[in-house]
Amino acid sequence: MSNRVIAVLPGDGIGEEVTAQAVRVIEKLNAAFDSSFACQHAPVGGTAYDLHGTPLPEETLSTAREADAILLGAVGGPKWESAPRELRPERALLGLRSEMSLFSNLRPAILFPELADASTLKPEVVSGLDIMIVRELTGGIYFGGPRGIEEVDGQRRGFNTMEYTESEIQRIAHSAFKAAMQRDKKLCSVDKANVLEVSELWREVVTKIGSEYPEVELSHMYVDNACMQLVRAPKQFDVILTTNMFGDILSDAASMLTGSIGMLPSASLDSNGKGMYEPVHGSAPDIAGQGIANPLASILSVAMLLRYTFNENELGDKVESAVKRVLANGVRTADIANEGETVASTSEMGQAVLDELS
């Protein structure tokens, strides 16, 4: 089988530390299951800025373009906060997303039963939580025009435009229905169709696309109600499909239900299944360099990469089951440990996953 290429962009701070463990997992898959994934490393973010004067060097972009999938760590840190806005590490993420049309953002919020105490909600409300938010990432009010601040009748007026074309809604809807087909086949589309025309169109188009996926049970919910339901009874959801802005808000709320940012992976996909996979967390400058970061979000990002780019569901299952067993065995990094529990380092946690991957 020819090599399947993964561009590995570790980035800054704990990005490097957690990605190193995820790469060990990929290497273990090659060795133990005869897979043939080739990793090509390239600098991104502040690290790339220091080396090449830009957070997204042309060479990194072409490595990413030529690969089948991208595994990213995290970017940013105080060292680069005074860099000009267009050269800040975070610009690399926007550059990668737009250069590769990564319009579909998949953010699971999973709470492993072993970690139910980590949530601020009652364990019975969140234990076993497993939902997936599919957020449109390159359109909507964050990109719509006209936008600006103008002077009208002696006072300033700020304005933005929330807009979606039918084709933008169609492609994100397909992405969400496909995700639902891989899961429990329930999709809830979140909008504000009682107030916004753009949401009316959204609802109409999503419903129409739904007829192509008869196995998926489709429902619609207003965004205000979705916020309430997410904290009241989050386990009622399987896949949530929503716009850029609503998804921004809902996915952060959902991730906090789990109480442990070091556990959450994400994917940003184009229409051909190519994707960028990364932990939800940032570069965590407060703990960078100490070897104590939780690598599981990055390792679970590898599981998503296996599923969504390579259709390797069995390998994805193996990685996720290994993580579950490690947690069941009581291995904990500092962020998920209870008081008095032994704390594993980043590499010890990585090793524990490798040991369960035979």
- Positions in 254-283 near ligand NAD (CB under 6 A): 261-262, 278, 281-283
- Residue 252 among the catalytic residues: yes
CB of 48 to ligand NAD, least distance (A): 13
Q: Beta strand pairing status for 239-242 and 265-269?
A: unpaired
Query: Taking the chain, what is the end-to-end CA distance rounded to the nearest angstrom?
Result: 21
CB of 349 to ligand NAD, least distance (A): 10
Site string for ligand NAD, 57-86 (x = CB under 6 A): -----------------xxxx---------
* Residue 103 near residue 172, CB atoms below 8 Å: yes
Q: Which helix (H) or strand (E) holds 155?
A: strand 155-159
- Residue 355 among the catalytic residues: no
44 contributes a contact to ligand NAD by CB under 6 A: no
- Positions in 203-232 near ligand NAD (CB under 6 A): none
* Distances, alpha carbon 191 to alpha carbons 109, 206, 227, 296, 355, in Å: 20, 11, 11, 32, 44
Residues 6+ apart with CB under 8 A from 52: 43, 59
- Residue 277 among the catalytic residues: no
Q: Is 246 exposed, middle or buried (0-12, 13-18, 19+ CB in 10 A)?
A: buried
Choosing from 50, 117, 208, 252, which is the catalytic residue?
A: 252
230-105-97-42 Cα dihedral, nearest 10 degrees: 100
Choosing from 50, 117, 208, 224, which is the catalytic residue?
A: 224
Residues 6+ apart with CB under 8 A from 323: 112, 296, 299, 300, 303, 353, 356
- Positions in 12-41 near ligand NAD (CB under 6 A): 14, 18
For residue 265, is the peptide bond before it cis, meaning its omega torsion is within 30 degrees of 0?
no
Options 150, 286, 340, 342; binder of ligand NAD; rule CB under 6 A = 286
Sign of CA pseudo-dihedral 46, 47, 53, 58: negative
Options 285, 324, 343, 348; binder of ligand NAD; rule CB under 6 A = 285
Scanning 94-102, 196-204, 289-297, 347-355 for contacts with ligand NAD by CB under 6 A, the matching segment is 289-297
Q: For residues 199 and 241, what is the distance between their CA atoms, to the nearest angstrom? A: 12
Choosing from 79, 130, 142, 222, which is the catalytic residue?
A: 142
56 contributes a contact to ligand NAD by CB under 6 A: no
- Residue 270 among the catalytic residues: no
CB of 72 to ligand NAD, least distance (A): 7
Q: Which lies closer to ligand NAD via its Cβ, residue 49 or residue 213? A: 49
- Positions in 292-311 near ligand NAD (CB under 6 A): 293-294, 297
What b/e readout covers 194-233, taking b as 16+ CB neighbours within 10 angstroms?
Answer: eeeebbebbbebbeebbeebeebebebbbbeebbebbeee
- Residue 50 among the catalytic residues: no
248 contributes a contact to ligand NAD by CB under 6 A: no
Q: Which amino acid is at 147?
A: R
Q: Which lies closer to ligand NAD via its Cβ, residue 306 or residue 336? A: 336
Residue ranges binding ligand NAD (CB under 6 A): 14, 18, 74-77, 90, 93, 261-262, 278, 281-287, 293-294, 297, 335
Residues annotated as part of the active site: 142, 192, 224, 248, 252
